[in-house]
Amino acid sequence: MADVKKENWFARTWGRICRYFRELRSELKKVVWSTPKQVLKNTLIVLACVIVVGVFIWLFDFVARFGIDNLIKAFH
């Protein structure tokens, strides 16, 4: 029976790394990149949503603090 010699560990690892970057490059060619106008529009939408959610959290915190303070005063 003929002995089949395995490839060197370094050679196998280097081959895997090279294959990874080749596949990465081919996948990046398939990406549809956003235009600067789309990026600006999406950024403004995200900022508006963050502000709206922040205001709701602030209002809830204010009302809850006001209610808890009144309950503490009522039972004190």
| Position 2 pLDDT exceeds 60 | no
Distance (Å, whole) CA 50 – CA 22: 39
pTM above 0.75, yes or no: no
CA 43 to chain centre: 14
By percentage, how much of the chain surpasses pLDDT 70? Answer: 93
In angstroms, rounded to a whole number, what is the distance separating the alpha carbons of residues 56 and 34? 31
Q: Is residue 76 very low, low, confident or very high in pLDDT (cuts 50, 70, 90)?
A: confident
> What pLDDT was estimated at residue 1?
52
The dihedral through the CA atoms of 7, 10, 16, 22 has a sign that is negative
